[in-house]
Chain A
């Protein structure tokens, strides 16, 4: 009941929020929900701001956060108080009935005064988390195992709530014990390597088990075999892993060394001296020249350019190659002009403790001779790892060094992921341990009984009474004898195989993108088989499905729409729309916006409203942005706009192509070349974009001297801020926006307002106060910004096209065929999302589309329940359609993600083939993934390209980063990186499927072969009164896994292909076996184990038949002994298990041949060598001198190795043959198809993709009957009709769940699938 109340509160947009609620927990929850919903409503197109999952953990506190230690506490506490306290009391008056969730800014009125006063080493300060600019969210999100993954970075605890740095006064900094600038990214030191590495390795159950066994073996008298039988494999296994780790660590160490010894110029004793990086200290002043890297995190004091401006490239940090502007504050660049100035400069900087939030820096600098503090923020920071560009030199003060730098704070390992298969293996191992233990206990009990009954009888054994008790120790002897049952080499083999598989992923030329010169890359190699088990794909849209190359295609200004009416522009037709922008200097002929009317309207009547609006429109585009102009040719011939988001760049270049070219920036202004004349706009304030606000505003003084505020942002965040008298324009623009969205375009709204000087000055005071505060600054700034961004006048809207990547529709259609459910999580509007869904074939015309867009919990519940009742309940069967699709609004997602709705929502979602979530926030993305992962227990894959996808990528079982245009954050967090979405198809159905099958086989086979080997010894126990005597010599036992049976399975697991890559792609349905875990599960394991038992029985008792009654096996009348029988059995085991593998192998390369035959043959060589060494036979390792020659001389031996493996394997073959004949598996049919018709062509190859896209046909390629063609034509027509209908039918945006008019038409359309 309480829950319900609380959720109800949420739905009411938190006006009812009561800070006095007793239950702290529920308060936390509702706070979370609120912050979610506040985001979800914002439909900003640049949806890449990111929210930290740690928000969930943050403590609620209502103490305004003021740094009491700060000397200038009065001002910051004033700001803090004035902003946070009222917010607690504010109850939003702006509350519009039910529909409010979409167009309501009221929720921001209540902002959580959350705490920053956590431990200084805290991962993410919540205040900072709220704010992040477009490009600014390189933040390590640790949805799982947070503390563990972060452990690697040595977090030094600093006392106090902020750090105080004395510049140029090293002695005063000593008490703070700042960390040195020497970094070490290595995992081990030379001393810690062995213990630490061993510790790591023995955390694996199998390794530890073998350690125990090996130690037991050292106890004298217990072991039936020589101690090295366990030690050799154990050491081998440990050594392989240790060497691998060691090499990796040495590499890291070398690169660390190089970095630590790089030179930099540091002010020492009044002069700049060259010192290595490792000697840089906090408080030093440092000079960095053009092209050099910053040795530590610096605050820029001055630069060679005017006004202390400098440019940096941050690609080392976040992969973004565009230049970013940094600028010193006037107070420093004015006085610090030379080395001498610097030498006399004294001051101190107060700032936050080291944290890992890049691009957020809150601090203040105070000169010794100046009582005032001057705020420092991100604009002044130069982070370690970045490179200085376009600037001759800078002076900077070191604020963070070494491990404290943002770079190092962010360099945490991705959360370690283990594949589902590996988890299953652990269960399998437990099964095996149990089997083994039972076997040992049985052996021990029988042994005790036999000893006690025979104690006086078997005089030749000389039993004493104590030997009965000693027989209990046989348990350990058995454990040693049967230790081989646990495949110690399994993990090593698996690791080797996975490394090879990872290498093959990178080698695949079909996953190489020539345009960006990027091959696929594996970053987490131990997940290869997981790729073959994916059930759910969560995909980002922008940059993942689409190219992220933005084309400015349409716009609306006032009540007019401009832009190509038809998207397919016909170059030949000379209609008024088709003319390129002639006569504009610097216009790009390739510019896609070809509507000249906008220029005509601008020029026609200078005094018209339309002309005015167009002017404002273009001015806004040219002024309101954060783009940096770059001139590669050092003159004005070419200007490249470096933007953090492609949308911005597209808008700015659009303005340029329409004659309003953004020319340059100076520290306080913005120069725009308006149709040949350079005008200066004095920029007063920039209210930056972040994912909460989803809009950006610039306050500037235009050349006419008026203060104007330009605002651009998502419709949901801009439209509510309009003046009252804009109703008409509002509704018209809304219609335009829906049209644009229906075309799959990304839209932005533009608005402006004039400000009165006085109002502005008043506001600016507030703003400055907020901006100066050290803690919670972002939130305060946001709040202040809201005060000025109101009463806006609408100018119009823009529509940008983001084209689909090549092959995306085909890939998606095929992935759906592979029974993978695809969820697209996008920040786009519903209409845009649906249209993208259609164009990428996620939605098809014969699907029913269910739309959830309720605005409160009850609505959502009703919608979900209604849909389930209508379509998925027992009474509602026999739908004549090919599936369902679900479209969910981000706001609904909040309700669906929590409490009781979660289960029904999942029930609905699980029944749908594809799901599109619109207007989602990064946090929601991660939540959705987690929900599916944990609740449905499905194997999930998340793919994305931007910082906003990082949390989702890390939450999913497999994260895939698109290494494309939007920086490297996603790639850094991912397990695999590919250059294009369509490669995902090959990665999953070819590599994933193969690797899953291969690795499953490897595990099963490892269990099997060791079981055969161990069980022969058990059967032998029957005939040696369970004394744990072994019949194999210790040397052979110790290399059984490595030499005789190790290589073939590794080779098989690397090279085997059950069907070719082309067939895997042509028949994506084959993929389903991985999803069902059908290749490796406990049932299959037991089948293999039982088979192993049967084989061991055949082998042992076959040889027993040969040796029983002391049979004479040589013509010379000799009888053969224990060791001869052992060797006979040994080779039979080797042959049988290798042949078993041969029958499991389908792809016989020369390597396969070599490995199998060599493994068998090497045994003969091996025993022949052993038999030649007289001293080899010692009492405990087997008396095998000359034995091999005896058995080689025995015809029975040779005859036995022909017949016994046949007995073992013939049933196997018979079963396989009958199974194939009676109920063939799909892959077997495909094998036959390949055998008969040859391998199919690659359906994802360039030529075939081109063929598909021409015919708009992504169904199967193969030969087809005219009937099928007919059907498809019909289907296409239906599809097109549907597309049209949805475009015109605007009503369908508001209904609860819709099976749009397509449903009537698809009664026949589902017949082929």
Chain B
């Protein structure tokens, strides 16, 4: 049959069109699987160990103070805390809140980024984000706009914490650097002093404020408060924690802590990942060995047609 080339409808016999592209065709045969599991085990266990090791080297002290009888709400108090070992600088001072839902949907969205950038926002449709705290009394009056508006900004953690050494000398703590530099640069600018609205405070570039405004992921969170850069050498012995307790948490069964912590490459004290690695590593290793033993003792013949159902 002579069919000239143009009219022939014969499909091109290419690898792509004939579904014969070169391909890697892995299947779960014993060799690769056993090796893969054992390798995973061998790699993961040391990693896990390294993480745990680093995590263990991190010194962390968590001191709850809201239940301290000396520290009633509205009072200033001092808690003496003895460090069992000395803490090399930098030491990070955090406050930690428990059972505080900063990630509640009502809360997370309740802010106005423009306002926080120091822009006078008077358009109520734009301020809607700040619900339910837009104006002081809920009316649509430009002059009663809350500055800053929204739940987050109006629930800023306002306890003040400072550290003193055993002898009562204040330890020099740095506030600078506790917030993300990117936030300081781009997201927060001071509100004009004589701007529209009821100005609670206008210093939006305050790093404590910026830290608070970055909402935490989970209801128990800690936020960086101050950094000790070690001008006085490592922290050691008994230190005084001075707290101005103003922030009410009792109503929602919240807890307040002061946290002193050093860091390592992995961050703070959190062995979770380390355990995960070690457990996964061990399981994979054991599994690999079990597979290997099974394969050694009673291997299944690969590709034997007798396993085909219709040959049985």
Interface residues, chain A, with chain B CB atoms under 8 Å away: 220-221, 224, 454, 456-462, 464, 467, 477, 504, 506-510, 512, 514-515, 517-519, 817, 1023-1025, 1027-1029, 1031, 1055, 1057, 1061, 1067, 1069, 1102, 1104-1122, 1124-1126, 1146-1152, 1174, 1177-1180, 1183, 1185-1186, 1189-1190, 1194-1196, 1199-1200, 1203-1204, 1206-1207, 1210, 1213-1214, 1216-1217, 1220-1221, 1224, 1226, 1228-1237, 1313
Contact = CB atoms under 8 A, between A and B. Distances in A.
Contacts of A1232: 27, 29, 302-303
Which among A467, A504, A817 has the greatest number of chain B C-beta atoms within 10 A? A504
B204 interface: no
B184 to A, nearest CB: 11
B221 A1110 contact: yes
B222 to A, nearest CB: 3
8 contacts: A457-B251, A457-B253, A464-B132, A517-B8, A1117-B268, A1203-B273, A1213-B33, A1229-B307
Nearest to B253: A457
Nearest to B18: A509
Contacts of A1190: 180
Contact of A1199 (B7, B30, B273): B273
Contacts of A1220: 27-28
Contacts of A1194: 267
Which among B132, B177, B310 has the greatest number of chain A C-beta atoms within 10 A? B310
A1125 B217 contact: yes
A1200 B28 CA distance: 25
Contact of A1106 (B133, B214, B270, B287): B270
A475 to B, nearest CB: 14
B218 interface: yes
B1 interface: yes
Contact of A1217 (B19, B113, B291, B302): B291
Interface in B73-127: 90, 92, 94, 96, 100-113
Contacts of B178: 1117
A517 B291 CA distance: 54
Contacts, number: 296
Interface stretch (B162-170, B230-238, B257-265): B257-265
B105 A1027 contact: yes
A1221 B34 CA distance: 13
A510 B266 CA distance: 59
B252 A1228 contact: no
A514 B223 contact: no
A1224 B302 CA distance: 10
Q: Chain B interface mostly helix, strand, loop or mixed? A: loop
Contact of A1146 (B27, B108, B261): B27
B107 A461 contact: yes
B10 A1122 contact: no
A1228 B27 contact: yes
B25 A456 contact: no
B128 interface: yes
Nearest to B307: A1229
Given A461-B106, A462-B133, A1210-B280, A1119 B303 contact: no
B288 to A, nearest CB: 10
Interface of B: 1, 3, 7-13, 17-19, 21-30, 33, 40, 44, 47, 51, 90, 92, 94, 96, 100-113, 128-129, 131-133, 151, 155, 177-178, 180, 182-183, 186-187, 214-224, 227, 248, 251-253, 261, 263-270, 272-273, 276-277, 280, 283-284, 287, 291, 294, 300, 302-305, 307-310
Contact of A1115 (B129, B180, B215, B265): B265
A509 B132 contact: no
B17 to A, nearest CB: 4
A1057 B100 CA distance: 53
Given A509-B18, A1115-B263, A1206-B40, A1121 B214 contact: yes
Contact of A1185 (B23, B186, B222): B186
Contact of B105 (A224, A464, A519, A1237): A224
B185 to A, nearest CB: 8
Contact of B216 (A454, A817, A1110, A1226): A1110
Nearest to A1236: B303
A1231 B27 contact: yes
B90 A1119 contact: no
A1195 B265 contact: yes
A458 B270 contact: no
Which among B44, B111, B267, B308 has the greatest number of chain A C-beta atoms within 10 A? B267
B250 to A, nearest CB: 9
A1206 B106 CA distance: 36
Contacts of B133: 462
10 nearest interchain CB pairs? Answer: A1112-B268, A1110-B222, A1232-B303, A1186-B182, A1029-B105, A1027-B105, A460-B155, A1110-B221, A1117-B92, A1125-B217
Contacts of B8: 517
A1118 B13 contact: no
B197 to A, nearest CB: 18
B92 to A, nearest CB: 4
Given A508-B11, A517-B3, 18 more contacts: A458-B252, A506-B11, A512-B9, A517-B10, A519-B11, A1023-B217, A1067-B308, A1108-B218, A1109-B96, A1115-B265, A1117-B224, A1117-B227, A1122-B217, A1190-B180, A1199-B266, A1221-B294, A1229-B303, A1230-B308
A460 B19 contact: no
A1180 B132 CA distance: 15
B23 A1148 contact: yes
Which among A1067, A1110, A1213, A1235 has the greatest number of chain B C-beta atoms within 10 A? A1110
B104 A1235 contact: no
A1110 B28 CA distance: 41
A1179 B187 CA distance: 12
Contact of A1119 (B151, B177, B224, B251): B224
A547 B24 CA distance: 41
Given A512-B11, A514-B1, A1179-B129, A1023 B218 contact: yes
Contacts of A1234: 25, 303
Contacts of B182: 1174, 1185-1186, 1189
A178 B261 CA distance: 92
Nearest to A221: B131
A1217 B33 contact: yes
Contact of B104 (A508, A1027, A1179): A1027
B24 to A, nearest CB: 4
Nearest to B90: A1117
Contact of A1110 (B9, B47, B223): B223
A1185 B214 contact: no
A1210 B284 contact: yes
